[in-house]
Amino acid sequence: MPFFDTHTHLDYLHQFTQEPLEHLVQNAIANGVEKILVVAVLQRDFETIKNLTALFPKNLRYGLGLHPLYIKEHTLKDLDVLENILLQRHKKLTAVAEIGLEQAIPELTAELIWKKQCKFFEAQLFLAKKYHLPVNLHSRKTHDQLFTFLKRIDIPKRGVVHGFSGSYDQAKRFVDLGYKIGVGGTITYERANKTRQTMSKLPLDALLLETDSPDMPVSGFQGQPNRPERMAKIFESLCQLRKETPEQIQETIWQNSLALFG
């Protein structure tokens, strides 16, 4: 079975490396990654991502959203733009992404900024519900707050908590609510005991694979931009942690990914 990279910023990888997009996509395919979800962080990137995805309709899908790291830049007009695009949704637009909450950066926890984060997150959750799309979720030091929103706002298609590095109990709460957990490069580091143990114990049908390219580099490639082609490294680490066969792991996660973002 092939791989589906369920969280990338392929537009930023393309900009950063200046490599032809075709080269990046073909390298991914050559390493078994047949589908890639490209997620947005800013409204000004929406059109770029749509156009980029259109060049490889068989392989690329995309999600549009307003990322909490850039909350100071987001405006109410950006939410209107997002809804207008969702209203006339392209078939390759398969998620509201990347959205979520951020508390690892102190300046983003100031009262007014935090309130704005929550307002924009809630608004985008309701858009996902209205247009029947899954969400791809950012959460740093906000798992409890994120869970409260997700429990209150019932999104039919659910989604994934991406790049998860919390505890098993935190992950299980999201899973019990119907959400998937994104498995990324963190598990390739042996020192990441908490995350590795979490991924070894969660139900297999609750997991997705992702690179977060060009971020979250895998072990052995620190300091380099991450790439979808390195998905195999993450998969190998996951296989070492699980009791199922590699074939079962790959097939189950492929089907999980297609069902959510395909």
Chain centroid to CA 152: how far? Answer: 21
Tokens for 41, please give them: 């962080």
Question: Is 212 a known ligand-binding residue?
Answer: yes
Question: Is 90 a known ligand-binding residue?
Answer: no
Question: Is 98 a known ligand-binding residue?
Answer: yes
What is the pLDDT confidence band of residue 1, given thresholds at 50, 70 and 90? Answer: confident
In this prediction, residues 226-232 reach a mean pLDDT of 97
pTM strictly above 0.95:
yes
Tokens for 261, please give them: 């973002």
Each domain of the chain, given as residue ranges in start order, spans 3-261
Closest Cα to residue 232, out of 244, 245, 212, 218? 218
Question: Is 14 a known ligand-binding residue?
Answer: no
> Hey, how many other C-beta atoms are within 10 angstroms of the C-beta on 11?
21
Beta partners for 60?
A: 36
CATH class of 3-261: alpha beta
Q: What is the H or E stretch that residue 79 is in? A: helix 76-87
Is the Cβ–Cβ distance between 52 and 26 less than 8 Å? no
Question: Is 169 a known ligand-binding residue?
Answer: no
pLDDT in tens, 173-182: 999 999 999 9
